[in-house]
Amino acid sequence: MLTMMMSIVHRITGFGNYFGTLLVAWWLIAAASPNAYGRFQWFASSWIGRLILFGYTWSVIHHMLGGIRHLIWDTGRGFGPKEREWLAAANLIASIAITLVLWIFIMLTMGVA
Amino acid sequence: MAAPLHMRTPLGRVLGRGAAKSGTEHFWHQRLTAVANVPLTIAAIAILITLVGRNQAAVAQILGSPTVAIIMLLFVVSITIHMRLGMAVIIEDYVHDDSTKLTLLIANTFFSIAVGLASVYGILKLSFGL
């Protein structure tokens, strides 16, 4: 059940990450000028900007961990019923935990808690 | 005479290119970039974390330094190749009208190249200070 749900989540997070690259491109291009970077920082520190960046962080990490799961499967391992469920649960829990740790660190660094 | 063991023609089996006529290239490039993306994404997140809260001048200097710039270039190139392949699979799975499918596949390639090159431009600009 969880395995099935995680399969579609892998696709959905991949779809989200696709458009998230626009933020990466914006950030990299904006870094060249103080004005442009100010606009990016204004977006990134806004309510909606934070929500989007938080979601993007989770989406990237979840997709990366899910990808590692797929690479393990590519070696022919991890297909047992227990292993599949365990890997799916670990994928979900680890992605949420890592995202929260990263964002706690970010908020502390920014001095906005 | 014994019944054939499979439906594929001898030529088809030798060429090994399958129904899409592109062989296993898609699968291979998808996996190759997936493997590359893991360390590159971890490195990119680490770089991002060290830049949070810094001013534009510091961010520009760090992003433009050789090691960081090269890691970011590899990251951007690898993820945009990977995402183009992934989106192509999504389009092929869900869009069944031929002309819509073709239009979306073209748009997918254009978007991936555009966002990839825009990012590369951003990094190079910081590196060379143009």
> Is the CB of B38 less than 8 angstroms away from the CB of A60?
no
Report domain extents, chain B: 25-128
- CA A57 to CA A70: how far, in whole Å? 20
All structural domains of chain A? 2-110 (1.20.1300.10)
**Selection from A88, A85, A82, A56 nearest residue A69 by Cα:** A88
Q: What single-letter amino acid sits at B112?
A: S
**Selection from A71, A66, A74, A55 nearest residue A91 by Cα:** A66
Q: Which of A9, A28, A73, A108 to mutate to test the interface with B (most CBs of B within 10 A)?
A: A28
Q: How confident is the model at residue A83 (pLDDT cuts 50, 70, 90)?
A: confident
Residue pairs spanning A and B at CB distance below 8 A? 85
Q: What is the mean pLDDT of residues A85-89?
A: 90
Looking at residue B115, its pLDDT comes to: 98
Q: Which chain A residues are Cβ-neighbours of B115 within 8 angstroms?
A: 21-22, 24-25
Looking at residue A112, its pLDDT comes to: 57
- CA A93 to CA A61: how far, in whole Å? 11
Looking at residue A113, its pLDDT comes to: 45
Q: Which of A21, A62, A68 to mutate to test the interface with B (most CBs of B within 10 A)?
A: A21
Maximum C-alpha span of chain B: 79
> Is the CB of A21 less than 8 angstroms away from the CB of B79?
yes
- Interval B39-92: pLDDT, tens: 999 999 999 999 998 999 999 999 999 999 999 999 999 999 999 999 999 999
> Is the CB of B52 less than 8 angstroms away from the CB of A110?
yes
Does residue B15 sit in helix, strand or coil?
A: helix
Q: What single-letter amino acid sits at B23?
A: G
- A67 has a chain B CB within 8 A of its CB: yes
Q: What is the pTM of this model?
A: 0.89
- By the 10 Å C-beta count (0-12 exposed, 13-18 middle, 19+ buried), A3 is classed as middle
- Interval B20-29: pLDDT, tens: 667 788 889 9
CATH of span B25-128: 1.20.1300.10
- CA A72 to CA A35: how far, in whole Å? 45
Rg for chain A (alpha carbons), in Å? 17
Query: Is the per-residue pLDDT at B5 higher than 70?
Result: no
- Interval A20-47: pLDDT, tens: 999 999 999 999 999 999 999 999 999 9
Looking at residue B80, its pLDDT comes to: 97
Q: How confident is the model at residue B109 (pLDDT cuts 50, 70, 90)?
A: very high
